[in-house]
Amino acid sequence: MKNIVLILLILARIFPLSGQTIEKHLSLEEALKIAREQSLDALVAKNQMRIAYWQYRDYRADLLPSMTLSGTLPSLDRSISNYLKEDGTYKFISSSSISEQLSLSIDQNIPFTGGKISIESMTQRMDELEGNKRTDYMSIPVSISLNQPLITSNPLKWATRIEPERYKQAQQQYAANQEAIAIRTLNHYFDLLLAKENTHIAKQNLQNADKLYEVALGKKKIGLISDNDLLQLKLNKLNASTSVIRAEQEYEQTMFSFRNHLGYNDRVVVIPEIPRECPVVDVTLAQVLELASVNNPFSRDILCRQLEARQQIAMAKANRGFRADLYASIGYTGNGPKFKHAYQDLRSREMVSLGISIPILDWGKGRGKVELARSQQEIVENQLKQESMNFEQNVMTIVRQYQEQTRLTDIARLADTVSQQRYKTAFETFLMGKISVLDINSAQTERDNAKRNYISQLYSSWLYFYTLRQITLFDFERKENIINEYI
């Protein structure tokens, strides 16, 4: 029986019953790690990075040779068609045949010219189903062809400049998204920590109010306290009860938000711990701006948007006027009644063509597209200039706030310690009847505000620290780039 009870206790601990809550104490570092691994924001960031990776792979595939096997197996043709005779009249003839064709081609894009070179091998069989009922074979053992636009904006050449930058930007953005997840986790963590502290303060104040009211009732019996002070203490007790209810409601709401952020179910009760104070590192505005110019995805986004605007102008210029395309092919071909005959007595096969297109009258449409692209480029440049100024201003603000935050946190910590000591002294003094109700209320308010302010300043120091990390993608403690942690 003892063994059965022991087994049941172990199973109950490993597999909690439905509806049973699980308390989970979380430090700030643990919360950050969990959020980066299993939060919804983390899953979205990973999928965005995966999309960017496959887009980059698609671009890289355009630079590599591709091999294609194509054919028709078979193709049946039973039809009546007309043809023009030498005397200028038409005659209808019937056709009944079946054919098979198989070709293998290797294609390679040429990034610097925008053309494409191909190597192809093909075999075709034709069977006449009526009349002589003969079979013919035709082969192209090898054929090398070039398809080259002579006037083109060359999209592949632009892609070789834009796509690598886009992929590097995506990698940097993924790291920045991880830091953004950390910042959102900080918000949830300290909201819950402050709500927990408010609940603790409210319950402690209710206990103190009960004790003070009981002491006041004893003093009232011997005439050491006025009716006004007694009623004030009773009102303080009622207000403290209300504060407990409101604090518990707020605590439940912040708990719900934090659990959702971390991906926990409603049976988990997260208990945050007051974290250590934020690391203090020496940073300068010049250092942060330099790191941001190299690591922040905003810098590469500016470059990519500038290149895309220039590409639009190049495309508009290439499409507005004279256009020419060159096609050239050289190889060997043969035919015969048998398959092997099609590869004997091969003859040379050459094809060259030059296609041109000259707009005679387009009512200024081509020129309009060029001017439109130029106007859009100017808009982009102005937008980028304004965004760059806003970015630098934001960096300046964050650096200044972080530099000043250490002193504010030190002051808040000292004020919290002093206010705790002052309230303890005021409480004992009130019990001896040497101070009034207003004095004890003032000491309590200052103690509560000092505790909340310390947590708030602690939150601000961590927030500015991780904002600096997000802007620079640099770990100031270990002196290395953050992007190396995620890519």
Write phi, then psi, for 278 (nearest 5 degrees): -60, 140
Residue 424: which domain range?
Answer: 19-55+160-306+377-486
Q: Among 358, 385, 420, identify where a domain stops.
A: 358
Separation CA 417–CA 420 (nearest Å):
5
Residue 87 lies in a domain: yes
Both 344 and 439 in a single domain? no
Residue 387 lies in a domain: yes
Both 200 and 289 in a single domain? yes
402: its two tokens = 């972080």
Residue 108 pairs in a beta bridge with: 117
pLDDT number for residue 3: 52
Long-range contacts of 422-430 (CB under 8 A, 24+ apart): 422/446, 422/447, 423/447, 427/208, 430/212
Residue 317 lies in a domain: no
Q: Cα dist. 341→9, 334, 357, 446 in Å?
A: 86, 8, 42, 104
183: its two tokens = 């910042």
Both 293 and 395 in a single domain? yes
Residue 62 lies in a domain: no
Long-range contacts of 280-283 (CB under 8 A, 24+ apart): 280/406, 281/476, 281/477, 283/399, 283/402, 283/403, 283/468, 283/476
pLDDT number for residue 1: 53
pLDDT number for residue 8: 47
Separation CA 345–CA 273 (nearest Å):
88
Separation CA 279–CA 233 (nearest Å):
43
Both 147 and 85 in a single domain? yes
Residue 366 lies in a domain: no
Tens of pLDDT, residue by residue over 205-233, are: 888 888 878 888 887 777 777 888 888 88
pLDDT number for residue 295: 92
Contacts of 285 (CB under 8 A, 6+ apart): 395, 396, 399
Both 233 and 169 in a single domain? yes
pLDDT number for residue 5: 42
**Overall domain count for the chain:** 2
Both 136 and 234 in a single domain? no
Both 173 and 279 in a single domain? yes
Instruction: Tell me how far apart the terminal alpha carbons of the chain are, to the nearest angstrom.
Output: 55
Q: pLDDT below 70 — which residues of the chain? A: 1-19, 437, 487
Tens of pLDDT, residue by residue over 16-47, are: 444 577 888 899 999 999 999 989 999 999 99
- CA 389 from centre of chain: 24
Residue 175 lies in a domain: yes
Both 207 and 291 in a single domain? yes
Question: Do residues 482 and 179 make contact, with C-beta atoms less than 8 angstroms apart?
Answer: yes
- At residue 475, the 3 state secondary structure works out as strand
pTM to 2 decimals? Answer: 0.81
- Dihedral of the alpha carbons of 286, 292, 294, 300, in degrees to the nearest 10: -140
Contacts of 358 (CB under 8 A, 6+ apart): 321, 322, 323
Both 179 and 258 in a single domain? yes
Residue 399 lies in a domain: yes
Residue 61 lies in a domain: no
Length of the chain: 487
Question: Do residues 329 and 353 make contact, with C-beta atoms less than 8 angstroms apart?
Answer: no
Encode 303-333: b = buried (16+ Cβ within 10 Å), e = exposed: bbbeebbbbbbbbbbbbbeebebeeebebeb
